[in-house]
């Protein structure tokens, strides 16, 4: 099983709609989870960290399910500017060091007018 798995999509979303996708991770000892956004051929940028209690930032909501080992991202009221690839990132548990991260391949979101 891969460390981090994501359905690459693309997810074609009408403007204004809601889209959600999950990411599964293999190591139950992982403690830190993130969503990064990557625009085409540009550098990834942190979108949000994912906390155990779930967290929300404007139209974006992230959830963590430790029992089933997945994290989710939900985007409400999609904007054209949300079109990007969303990378799921998980810290690798020991014996890896603290800042060793595993990246998913990303969920590609295309918001359609």
Q: Contact positions toward other proteins, by CB under 8 A?
A: 4, 31-32, 34, 36, 41-46, 49, 87, 91, 97-106
Q: Which is nearer to other proteins, 61 or 91 (CB)?
A: 91
Q: Quote the least distance from Cβ 17 to other proteins, whole Å.
A: 27
Per-residue b/e over 52-91, b at no fewer than 16 CB within 10 Å? eeeeeeeebbbbbeeeebbbbbebeebeeebbbbbbbbbb
Minimum Å gap between C-beta 87 and other proteins is 7
Per 3-state DSSP, what percentage of the chain is helix, strand, and coil (rounded to 5)? 5, 50, 45
73 vs 102, beta carbon nearer other proteins: 102
Nearer to other proteins, 11 or 34 (CB): 34
| Between 78 and 87, CB nearer to other proteins | 87
Number of C-beta neighbours around residue 33 at 10 A:
23
Residues comprising the chain, all counted: 113
* CB 56, min distance to other proteins, A: 18
């Amino acid at each position: 099983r891969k460390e981090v798995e994501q359905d690459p999509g693309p997810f074609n979303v009408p403007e204004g709609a809601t889209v959600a996708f999950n990411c599964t991770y293999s190591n139950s000892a992982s403690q830190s989870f993130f969503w990064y956004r990557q625009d085409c051929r540009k550098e990834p940028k942190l979108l949000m960290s994912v906390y155990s209690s779930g967290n929300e930032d404007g139209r974006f909501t992230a959830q963590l399910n430790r029992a089933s080992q997945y994290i989710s991202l939900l985007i409400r009221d999609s904007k054209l500017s949300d079109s990007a690839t969303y990378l799921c990132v998980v810290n690798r548990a020991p014996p890896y060091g603290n800042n060793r991260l595993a990246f998913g391949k990303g969920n590609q979101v295309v918001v359609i007018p």
